[in-house]
């Protein structure tokens, strides 16, 4: 996508003449791990060219480029919907134009760790719905699975095409005080945000083209091609018909659904466009019905087929699950995958990796207390003011308590929730997320970030070199979700 007319170039001397140049000299890392600067103010490896270029610009020019990026996002309709304020509100996904940079060696380790994790999780999901060795051996408690909202008994005995359940994964990573990456959670149902990753890169190509060229950044623009190749791989027939299934225009990620369909050159459909006929899923077209081979679904499992899951669903296609079971259509991600999305199951992933692969996790989990376990629950109730408490199946920053920032009344409410339903909660230490400089007005301030890399599982497991860096733009906030006031940054992975 092109942005001509949005950004103004010109002679550098003309841009900065008569105006003080921007400087990081007053930037404070404070007590946090900063990804651009060391505690004594030295610039970290990989950021040299960026710092040099940014400090050649005036503050006015840098802010002008920031505002141009924001206008480009709005003009292209790159928005999401927020429902938490009583009505649907459409907003742009805020972008900060100072990129986040990850060194090549560090990325290679992350890549290896994510491949290891997805391999084990896929084996786990397949086992849970089939032989259940891991449950019979007591490595993961059987009642934990059977009480999970995302465990779908109709999926028992399923064998998805090519044995792949989690085709698209967005794994959330964070860095703590020591700068080491940890896995915060796994997103395996309908992970969102990849369109923002792609568009942030296009905007940064216009904002700092010479820095990108000189820094040696791995490309991500082929993601739609890789996504389509993966979807075609699971079809089981040549030249398959692929569609993207959306819940509709009121979904918070509708822009992404339409964007990815357009980039792949496939049809974007909703439930009204699909019908089960003659034992196959067919799409209504102006030339009649066309058989669909692969569906990249962007709606939750339980809305997929009202005959099998939620009978009140108006978003799904009656009969589609039976077609899927017979192997006549492929679905990505496979129904039932959400059982590994449960935040309580997350706590068992290190054991899952050890069980299936006989390996230690390359990327560790955050220390997690499982409230269904008596000792852990007691600790959480006594130390709730110092912990982050999460509901098992909530996302987007909802159903969460950040103990140090909450009131005593909030603590009391969550204590009661935990006592009433301990299985539904986990708790973790409050991690001081790493920070990256952000442009705040005419100067830079540190803001906390996480990272969501995207992983495609087709003929092999493919980790896209980058991901969506989400930023807690509110000063002091640790919540990076866009629905909670967060924004995004471009993520540069070096060669």
Let me know whether 246 and 199 are in one domain. no
2 belongs to a structural domain: no
Q: Report the b/e string of 447-469 with b at 16+ CB within 10 A.
A: bbbbbbbbbbbbeebbbbbbbbb
Let me know whether 138 and 57 are in one domain. yes
CATH of the domain at 255: 3.40.50.11290
In the predicted model, is pLDDT for residue 395 greater than 70?
Answer: no
Rounded mean pLDDT, 415-425: 95
Percent of the chain residues past pLDDT 90, beyond the cut: 81
5 belongs to a structural domain: no
Let me know whether 89 and 63 are in one domain. yes
- Residue 128 CB burial class (10 angstroms; 0-12, 13-18, ≥19): buried
256 belongs to a structural domain: yes
Dihedral, CA of residue 197, residue 202, residue 207 and residue 213, to nearest 10: 100
Let me know whether 39 and 160 are in one domain. yes
434 belongs to a structural domain: no
Percent of the chain residues past pLDDT 70, beyond the cut: 92
In the predicted model, is pLDDT for residue 11 greater than 80?
Answer: no
**For the whole model, what pTM was predicted?**
0.92
Rounded mean pLDDT, 248-264: 93
Rounded mean pLDDT, 14-24: 69
Residue 12, classed as helix, strand or coil, is: helix
267 belongs to a structural domain: yes
Range of the domain at 277: 241-292+294-328
Pair of tokens at residue 449: 């970030």
Rounded mean pLDDT, 47-59: 95
165 belongs to a structural domain: yes
CB atoms within 10 A of CB 208: 23
Let me know whether 349 and 488 are in one domain. yes
Let me know whether 359 and 383 are in one domain. no
What does the alpha-carbon distance between residue 129 and residue 131 come to, in Å, rounded to a whole number? 7
Given 303, 328, 353, the domain boundary residue is 328
Q: Which of 100-109, 204-213, 295-304, 484-493 has the lowest mean pLDDT?
A: 484-493
For residue 12, name the pLDDT band (cuts at 50, 70, 90).
very low
- Number of domains present in the structure of the chain: 3
Let me know whether 176 and 73 are in one domain. yes
What does the alpha-carbon distance between residue 58 and residue 388 come to, in Å, rounded to a whole number? 41
In the predicted model, is pLDDT for residue 398 greater than 80?
Answer: no
What does the alpha-carbon distance between residue 254 and residue 267 come to, in Å, rounded to a whole number? 14
Q: What is the mean pLDDT of the chain?
A: 91
Let me know whether 300 and 347 are in one domain. no
Q: What is the pLDDT of residues 437-482, one digit of tens each?
A: 999 989 999 999 999 999 999 999 999 999 999 999 888 888 787 6
pLDDT at position 82, please? 57
Let me know whether 53 and 188 are in one domain. yes
Let me know whether 155 and 246 are in one domain. no
pLDDT at position 233, please? 97
pLDDT at position 478, please? 81
Let me know whether 55 and 96 are in one domain. yes
CATH of the domain at 403: 3.30.1490.270
Given 429, 463, 479, the domain boundary residue is 429
Let me know whether 99 and 189 are in one domain. yes
37 belongs to a structural domain: yes
79 belongs to a structural domain: yes
């Amino acid at each position: 996508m092109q942005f001509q007319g949005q950004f103004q170039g010109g002679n550098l001397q003309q841009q900065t003449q008569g105006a003080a140049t921007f400087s990081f000299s007053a930037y404070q890392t404070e007590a946090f791990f900063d990804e651009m600067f060391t505690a004594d103010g030295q610039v970290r490896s990989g950021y040299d060219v960026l710092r040099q270029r940014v400090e050649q610009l005036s503050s006015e020019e840098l802010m002008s480029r920031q505002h141009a990026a924001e206008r480009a996002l709005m003009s292209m309709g790159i928005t999401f919907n927020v429902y938490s304020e009583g009505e649907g509100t459409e907003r742009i996904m805020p972008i900060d134009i100072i990129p986040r940079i990850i060194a090549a060696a560090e990325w290679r380790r992350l890549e290896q760790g994510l491949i290891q994790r997805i391999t084990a999780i896929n084996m786990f999901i397949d086992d849970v719905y089939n032989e259940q060795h891991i449950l019979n051996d007591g490595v993961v408690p059987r009642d934990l699975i059977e009480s999970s909202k995302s465990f779908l008994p109709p999926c028992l005995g399923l064998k998805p095409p090519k044995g792949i359940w989690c085709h698209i994964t967005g794994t959330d990573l964070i860095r703590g005080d020591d700068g080491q990456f940890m896995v915060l959670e796994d997103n395996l149902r309908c992970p969102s945000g990849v369109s923002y990753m792609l568009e942030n890169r296009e905007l940064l190509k216009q904002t700092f083209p010479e820095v990108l060229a000189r820094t040696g950044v791995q490309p991500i623009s082929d993601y739609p091609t890789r996504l389509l190749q993966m979807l075609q791989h699971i079809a089981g027939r040549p030249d398959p018909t692929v569609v993207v299934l959306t819940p509709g225009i009121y979904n918070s990620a509708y822009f992404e659904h339409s964007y990815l369909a357009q980039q792949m050159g496939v049809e974007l459909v909703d439930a009204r466009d699909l019908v089960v006929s003659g034992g196959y899923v067919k799409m209504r077209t102006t030339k009649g019905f066309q058989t669909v081979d692969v569906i990249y679904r962007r709606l939750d499992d339980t809305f997929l087929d009202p005959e099998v899951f939620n009978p009140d669903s108006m978003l799904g296609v009656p009969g589609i699950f039976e077609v899927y079971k017979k192997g006549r259509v492929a679905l990505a991600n496979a129904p039932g995958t959400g059982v590994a999305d449960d935040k309580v199951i997350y706590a068992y992933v290190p054991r899952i990796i050890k069980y299936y692969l006989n390996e230690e996790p390359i990327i560790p989990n955050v220390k997690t207390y499982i409230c269904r376990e008596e000792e852990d629950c007691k600790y959480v109730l006594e130390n709730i003011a110092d912990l982050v408490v999460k509901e098992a199946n909530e996302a987007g920053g909802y159903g969460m308590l950040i103990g140090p920032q909450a009131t005593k009344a909030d603590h009391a409410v969550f204590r009661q929730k935990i006592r009433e339903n301990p299985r539904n909660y986990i708790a973790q230490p409050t991690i001081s997320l790493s920070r990256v400089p952000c442009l705040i007005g005419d100067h830079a301030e540190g803001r906390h970030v996480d990272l969501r890399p995207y992983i495609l599982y087709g003929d092999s497991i493919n980790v896209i070199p980058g991901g969506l860096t989400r930023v807690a733009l509110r000063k002091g906030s640790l919540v990076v979700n866009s629905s909670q006031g967060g924004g995004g940054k471009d993520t540069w992975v070096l060669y």
